[in-house]
Amino acid sequence: MRPSYPGESRYRLLARSLREDILEDRFAEDDPLPTEAALAQELSLSRQTVRRAFLELVSEGLVFRVPGRGTFITPKGSRYRRRFSSVDDLMNLTLDTELEVLDPLTGTFDQAIAERLQLSGRSMYSVLFRRLHRGEVFCTTRVFLPPAMGSTLEQLPFLVEPGHRSGITIIGLLESQGVTIAEAEQMTTAVAATEEQAGWLGCAVGAPLLRIERLYIDATDQPVELAISDYLPEHFSHRLRLGRATAAEH
């Protein structure tokens, strides 16, 4: 299994490890995955832990179970739905998707965006791209960056040429330049596709899109990126675990 994250449960670690192996094509689609008993013995886990990991992958549509035969990988053409529940899931976009630049990274200014990025000056950077899985578009994203971040990434070739494709993520590029992404504040709304968006996403004008706005915060509690993404809803899944309030919170 992969190294665990702080506070990550054993079944979530196993589910993440299996998920990444599936996305990296380390299993054959026609062969069953290792059984619960085999994984439990190999990894010194309980059968219940392995079962919970498998059920998480089933709920995401990555695998399916055949009674008497085992657990199989869902064929690629019908399984893709991106799951996001952590910054690490967003980092994992590099595993199986491509970024295609629509509007290259350039200087811009928007007062409302500047306030969200806590900028005092009238300078920022912006880039627009869409993301594809095996050639199929599933979202467009407009990213806004503080001037220090934008000027750093402006020196890289990935974001300055319209039509250029790569497997990078913006947060991955930021971290490669020494920024530590600590968390992201996320807001979800719904919008209707404009004519321009319909052309980029291959949907009808007015089709519903999921708008996900993420403000990324670094380890010093400073905003380093605002990303506004519009997803085709059939390719997006958000998983959130809700707990009960403690007595002290009532």
Q: Looking at the structure, do residues 74 and 152 belong to the same domain, yes or no?
A: no
249 in a domain, yes or no? no
Residue where one domain finishes, among candidates 28, 58, 78: 78
Q: Which of 38-47, 92-101, 189-198, 206-215 has the lowest mean pLDDT?
A: 92-101
| Pair 57, 24 in one domain | yes
Count structural domains, the chain.
Answer: 2
Q: Are residues 60 and 105 in the same domain?
A: no
Q: What is the mean pLDDT of residues 88-94?
A: 58
CA distance 42 to 34: 10
The predicted model scores a pTM of 0.66
Shared domain for 112 and 168, answered yes or no, is yes
Q: What does the pLDDT read at residue 149?
A: 93
Mean of the per-residue pLDDT values of the chain: 85
Do both 217 and 139 map to the same domain? yes
34 and 68 within one domain:
yes
Q: Assess whether pLDDT exceeds 60 at residue 70.
A: yes
> CA–CA separation, 205 vs 157, rounded Å?
33
**Whether residue 111 sits in one domain with residue 202:** yes
Residue 144: which of 169, 165, 170, 121 has the closest Cα? 170
Domain annotation covers residue 163: yes
Which of 7-11, 17-21, 24-28, 127-131 is predicted most confidently?
A: 127-131
> Do 128 and 20 fall into the same domain?
no
Determine the pLDDT at residue 76: 67
Is 2 among the domain residues? no
State the CB neighbour count (10 A cutoff) for residue 239. Answer: 12
Does residue 49 contact residue 89 with C-beta atoms inside 8 Å? no
pLDDT at 43 over 60: yes
CA distances from 139 to 134, 165, 184, 211, 227 (A): 13, 14, 19, 9, 12
Residue 248 falls within a domain, yes or no?
A: no
- 92 with 201, same domain: the answer is yes
Q: Taking 80 as the threshold, does the pLDDT of residue 89 lie above it?
A: no
| Nearest CA-CA partner of 158 in 149, 169, 146 | 169
C-beta separation of 102 from 129 below 8 A: yes
pLDDT score of 124: 97
- Identify the CATH number of the domain in which residue 71 sits: 1.10.10.10
DSSP 8-state symbol, 15? H
> What are 135's two structure tokens?
């050639």
Q: Which of 78, 108, 134 is the last residue of a domain?
A: 78
Residue ranges in 30-97 assigned as alpha helix (H): 36-43, 47-60, 76-79, 87-91, 93-96
> Over 176-243, what HEC string results?
HCCCCEEEEEEEEEEEECCHHHHHHHCCCCCCEEEEEEEEEEECCCCEEEEEEEEECHHHEEECCCCC
pLDDT over 70 (residue 77):
no
Region of poorest pLDDT, from 4-18, 141-155, 170-184: 4-18
Q: How would residue 30 be classed by pLDDT, with cut points 50, 70 and 90?
A: confident
Assess whether 110 and 152 both reside in one domain: yes
Mean pLDDT lowest among 66-75, 119-128, 226-235, 240-249: 240-249
Residue range(s) defining the domain that contains residue 158: 82-238
Which among 54, 78, 102 is the end of a domain? 78
Q: Could you tell me if 134 and 29 lie in one domain?
A: no
CATH classification of the domain holding 137: 3.40.1410.10
228 vs 173, higher pLDDT: 228
Compute and round to an integer the Cα radius of gyration of the chain: 20
* 65 plus 101 within the same structural domain: no
Whole-number pLDDT of residue 131: 92
Average pLDDT over residues 120-133: 93
- In the predicted model, what is the mean pLDDT of residues 43-60? 88
Q: Which residue has the higher pLDDT, 244 or 48?
A: 48
In a domain, 198, yes or no: yes
Show the CA angle centred on residue 40, arms to residues 35 and 44, nearest 5°.
155
Whether residue 245 lies inside any domain: the answer is no
The band of 159, judged by pLDDT with boundaries at 50, 70 and 90, is very high
Please report whether residue 5 resides in a domain.
no
Residue 143 burial by CB count (10 A; 0-12/13-18/19+): exposed, middle or buried? buried
Compare 51 and 248 and report the one with higher pLDDT.
51
